[in-house]
Amino acid sequence: MKENQVDPTGESPQDVQSLAHTIKKVWEANREFQLRDIKFEDFTILIAEYDEVLGKIEIRNRELNELRITRDKLEPKVKHLSTRARTGMRGYFGPKSSEYQRIRPSLRKNPAPKARKPAKKKPALPPTPPPPDAPVTTPPAK
């Protein structure tokens, strides 16, 4: 799940953090409140761990964003030089060479086989009409 993305319950990590800190403030002001299996100190430690993890995620997201910016700046240069090198190799090795065939984009991409559509069923033909000179027969009346 990405940062700031909402989980299936509809809460973002920041929403959970904000709610936990609000509960901590209310609990701290009303220390007589107790839960059977959790102490205020345990809750405080858990919130501190959660805050630490969210902080680390934020730092790594900034680092990752900087790397993405660097990648996006380098990508056009790499594409341009790759195109020049491919063109140069075509001239040097020849368009039919195995070296050039290995770097041709059209040969690297294997198109997915086309899915065959099931053949349409032909409608049943109407019964053949009797010849015009045949006697007309009517079904017996019941």
Residue 42 forms part of a structural domain: yes
Q: How far apart are the C-alpha atoms of 97 and 90, rounded to whole Å?
A: 8
- Is residue 13 pLDDT above 70, yes or no? yes
Give, as one character, the DSSP assignment of residue 15.
Answer: H
Q: Is residue 22 part of a domain?
A: yes
**Cα–Cα distances in angstroms (integers) from residue 105 to residues 33, 47, 86, 110, 111, in the given order:** 68, 52, 10, 10, 12
Q: Is residue 31 within 8 Å of residue 44, measured between CB atoms?
A: no
Over range 74-97, report the average pLDDT: 94
Helix, coil or strand: residue 72: helix
pLDDT in tens, 60-81: 999 999 999 999 999 999 999 9
Residue 47 lies in a domain: yes
Look at 2 and 140; give whichever has higher pLDDT.
140
116 within a domain of the structure (yes/no)? no
- The whole-number pLDDT of residue 107 equals 46
Does residue 113 lie within any of the structural domains?
no
Q: Is residue 59 part of a domain?
A: yes
Distance CA 21, CA 32 (A): 18
Indicate whether 100 belongs to any domain: yes
Q: What is the mean pLDDT of residues 32-39?
A: 92
Q: Would you say residue 127 lies in a domain?
A: no
The length of the chain is: 142
Of all residues in the chain, the percent with pLDDT exceeding 70 is 76
What does the pLDDT read at residue 142? 60
Give the span between the Cα atoms of 102 and 121, in whole angstroms. Answer: 45
Enclosing domain of residue 38:
13-108
Q: Give the total number of structural domains in the chain.
A: 1
